[in-house]
Chains A and B, each alone.
Chain A
Amino acid sequence: MEKIAVSGIGAVTPSGIGKRQFWANLKSGRSFIKEITRFDASKYPSHIAGQIDDLEKYSHVSERLLKKIDAFSHMALIAAELALQDAGIEIKNEDPNLVGIFLGNAIGGWLYAETELRNLYLEGREGVSPYMASAWFPAAPQGQLSIYYGIKGFSKTVVADRASSLMALGYAGKVLDKNKLNMILAGGMEAPVTPYALLCCNTYGALSENNAYPQSAYRPFDKKRDGFVIGEGAGIVLLEPVARVKKRGANILAYLSGYGTSCDGVDRINPAADGKELARAIKMALADARVSPDEIDYISLDGLAVEIWDNSEIAAIKSVFGSRIRQIPVSCPKSMFGNLLGASGAVDMITAILAMEHNLVPPTLNLEEPATNGLNYITGKAREFNIKKALIISRGRGGINSAIVIEKGA
């Protein structure tokens, strides 16, 4: 594909809202995983998470709208506004038919859904909020963004477990590549820190139960790993054709230049142990970007902190990058704020763009003793690297693989 420009970034994460705050916390290597305080989660095997407690402070959303939407839509509205501000774009000055929205999420608006289901069983039909119908479903944030900004162009919501938002970015790039639109708000959002969603994440069996030490619980690739920690938030970027951004004299923060995806087809939860299909998705993204494996100088890892996931991911990158894997810096910065499930890939891409801008690779937290050696793991604190081309990996249950190649902005 032709390179697509990333012209604006919107980050809403437990490590900070807005790219400056987010980056300052990332580079310091500080953990934002805490005991869940929103509700009593103490009886759950895993009751720690990356939470956003001050969303209202950054919100431009009216109370009237807020009562009709789930937290995941609220996060998407804030992330989109931040991305547009960063890009210097006012949608009202654009042709609405040529603006699109591509967002991914894994689970939908469960805080709304589970609250209203409780009302249904306790109070009967009349106890259920009529907004339930439009608040819970996975495409609700796409709808809310389109209403808020009057956006009317070709749009899509991608639901592909934790790979959802990276896939949404990949497809958004493909749509712009076909000159179908002037710009796309692309990324994802997820709000799983709710009683029922947390329960389902727990029964899935991949969450860390190291509740006593929340900050050191999420330890991808470490010998003492015992699963991941969930987080909530949104990552949305503004994508535009390169020529358009240059014409309006705006900054190109990065280029999205290649996308690849594949399925393992072996198990309803676990990935294939050999990582072959993930390797194929990575090669597909590299070929799409016309970038050789020798040119990649940072890899953002999916890093689920579960043995079969970590090992198959390492097997895949070793098979693609060969002995060069010893030199390429790799990290999984989401270990600092939690795995944002369907929003994780978009936030990882934003992290990698900021890493390129600042010539610093943010670390994998808690990686003290690698379970597999032979990789250039960046741990503890951010380390200086001049990154020109980066690979971002995002995967989902049942063997969903996706990879994106980005390049440093002009």
Chain B
Amino acid sequence: METKERIKDILSKLLKVKPEELKDDVSLESSIGVDSTEMVETVIALEKAFNTKLSPKEIIKSSTINDIEAVIKSKLSADEHN
């Protein structure tokens, strides 16, 4: 599965929203009205799924799916180089 599809799959299952509600270029706040606790859960779930460290400052309410994908891809490539 592509990184973006995995992110959508994880988020939809985690937050109990429909995958189509998660838009590539709309913030999580605007698309599904995510709250701060859901953001905490989201960051932890993505860390586990991609086996990388994420800061709650990197993935925020105003992040879009594209933003999240970019953050995770850069982490994964940085992890590979380390």
Contacts and interface: CB of A to CB of B under 8 A. Distances in A.
B16 interface: yes
Contacts of A67: 16
Contacts of A66: 16
A126 B16 contact: no
Interface stretch (A127-135, A271-279, A293-301, A386-394): A127-135
B40 A130 contact: yes
Contacts of A131: 37, 41
Contacts of A62: 16
B17 interface: yes
B55 to A, nearest CB: 14
A126 B44 contact: yes
B15 interface: yes
Interface residues of A, number: 12
A64 interface: yes
B30 to A, nearest CB: 16
B43 to A, nearest CB: 9
Nearest to B41: A130
B15 A64 contact: yes
A63 B41 contact: no
B16 A64 contact: yes
A304 B16 CA distance: 42
A68 B37 contact: yes
Nearest to B43: A130
A134 B44 CA distance: 18
Interface of A: 62-64, 66-68, 126, 129-131, 133-134
A133 B15 contact: no
B16 A130 contact: no
Interface string B28-67: 0000000001101100100000000000000000000000
Contacts of B40: 130
A129 B38 CA distance: 10
Contacts of B16: 62-64, 66-67
19 contacts: A62-B16, A63-B16, A64-B15, A64-B16, A64-B17, A66-B16, A67-B16, A68-B37, A126-B44, A129-B41, A130-B37, A130-B38, A130-B40, A130-B41, A130-B44, A131-B37, A131-B41, A133-B37, A134-B37
A220 B69 CA distance: 63
Nearest to B14: A67
5 nearest CB pairs, A to B = A130-B40, A64-B16, A63-B16, A130-B37, A130-B41
Nearest to B44: A126
A66 B16 CA distance: 10
Contacts of B17: 64
B58 to A, nearest CB: 17
A130 B38 CA distance: 8
A129 B37 CA distance: 9
Nearest to B17: A64
B82 to A, nearest CB: 21
Contacts of B44: 126, 130
Given A64-B16, A131-B37, A134-B37, 16 more contacts: A62-B16, A63-B16, A64-B15, A64-B17, A66-B16, A67-B16, A68-B37, A126-B44, A129-B41, A130-B37, A130-B38, A130-B40, A130-B41, A130-B44, A131-B41, A133-B37
